[in-house]
Amino acid sequence: MSKKGRILVGMSGGVDSTVTALLLHEQGYEVIGITLNILDYNYTGERVKNPCCSIESIMGAKEIANFIGFKHFIIDVKNEFQNKVVDKFVDEYMAGRTPNPCIRCNSDIKWGEMVRQADIFDCEKIATGHYANVNEKNGRYYLTRGKDKLKDQTYFLWALDQYTLSRTIFPLGELTKPEVRSIAFTRGHTQIAHKQENFDICFVPDNDYRLFLKERIHDLEEKYAGGNFVDVEGNVLGKHKGYMNYTIGQRKGLGIALGKPVYVVSIDAKTNTVVIGERDKLNKNGLFVNEINMMKYEEISEPKEVSTMVRYKSQAIESKVSKFDDSTYEITFEANVQGIASGQSAVFYEGDDVVGGGIIKESF
């Protein structure tokens, strides 16, 4: 083992994980690369266009490891990914919520498996190419936004637990994306340096979640098409294609003309009802979150001033977080917020530090 120690690096075949492995190797660590095989390609077929999880990317990661000069292993986690991420994704849409599968994949699949493999290979730390930082204070590990605020990925990592964070490092946390691409280019990885990113859901072909649901649930259209569009007073305005085809805040593709712009305000899966209204009907004063994971503090006993993100890339909103009961936190906003969808994540920050996060249960 190297004098600096052995580090397990999660590799996707993209520029970020490539540079992560490269930098650690150059710093004198013994690097072991792993790539998780999460997709059943016999099922998804050729319609999958996302490069992050393709067979080509998996083999590309192995080629990179061979080129740099360290061991690389491909780990099959298809069954776990199917059970914990894909099935949950379908269940959430069928419950009338809007899931964010990347967050569950990170905490339940990627980091869970990387920690397990790190123990097998006797690696003290694991590393990935995320743009974030890990800090420790008063015995608590927590995430801090990376240097590149446009690429910051702490929103997707709020569910990582204390033990996992204590084992994790992010070598790109103090770099910008252009700097990372430049490092790859100057080290001879020219093709990787210019590789385009893809933000689609990796297991949903063509990013068409509606078709994905229809392929997985028998007679979906026959069972749910023809439900009611109603206004906020409950007046029937027309028929829709099934509640799972709509998301909160959606305006385009509703298939109903009322002579003015209208948006999906709420969804009732039990009655197959979609409530629509004008933009101001999306205004919310706050929300409740459950499945809480606290980072910077063990708990919040008194209301605390924070800023909250309710979607990735959304503006952080000045707010106040307080404990509602043993499993729920309440977040109230200083100004109205629109487009809050149950099933998405709310992540609350103190400056650049992640205080904690949770799954949005409902808004008010």
Catalytic sites, residue numbers? 105, 202
Find tokens 């792993």 and name the residue.
34
- The DSSP code sequence of 140-198 is EEEEEE-S-TTT--GGGGTT--HHHHHTEE-TTTT--HHHHHHHHHHTT-HHHHTPPP-
Gap between the Cα atoms of 92 and 100, Å rounded: 9
Q: Which amino acid is at 93?
A: Y
Please return the burial class of 270, using the count of CB atoms within 10 Å of its CB with bins 0-12, 13-18 and 19+. Answer: exposed
DSSP β-bridge partners for residue 330: 288, 322
Q: What per-residue string of b and e applies to 8-28 under the rule 16 or more CB within 10 Å gives b? A: bbbbbbbbbbbbbbbbbbeee
* CB within 8 Å of 308: residues ≥ 6 apart: 316, 317, 319, 321, 331, 333, 346, 347, 348, 349
Gap between the Cα atoms of 236 and 119, Å rounded: 58
Give me 265's structure tokens. 């305000």
Find tokens 């730390």 and name the residue.
125
